[in-house]
Copies of this chain bind each other. A is one copy, B any other.
Amino acid sequence: MREPTFWILTALASQPRYGYSVMQQVAQLSGGAVTLQAGTLYAALDRLTAEGLVELDRDEIVDGRTRRYYRLTSDGAEALGVETERLRRSLEAATSQLAARQRFGLGPAAALRAAW
């Protein structure tokens, strides 16, 4: 799962949203670090719908503009849960390896390097 897909599922987890609302929610959740491109978003929503991770909730018309709401399916929630576990393991691995790097680089550890 790539970044945009992950964030879209995350934004839809708590409640149904329409495309533009997903964009805003992702921007907020990521602290402004992630800005979904419109092309990416709507293509992803179509793809995720086809995959069954997301489904159409309803259409609303506000100020003459259509808002197409999507919701996460139970498959989508499960996929996000699996992805979250994967993130947890990745984070753990990187953290431990970076810590090992500190020990490797600091102090009189030159002998250690030779031993390896």
Contacts and interface: CB of A to CB of B under 8 A. Distances in A.
Interface of A: 2, 6-7, 10-11, 13-15, 29-31, 33, 71-72, 74, 77-78, 80-81, 83-84, 86-91, 93-95, 97-98, 100-101, 104, 106, 108, 110, 113, 116
Contact of A33 (B89, B91, B101): B89
Contacts of A74: 108, 110, 113
Tally of this chain's copies = 2
A51 to B, nearest CB: 17
Contacts of A95: 84
Given A84-B94, A106-B72, A101 B113 contact: no
A108 B10 CA distance: 14
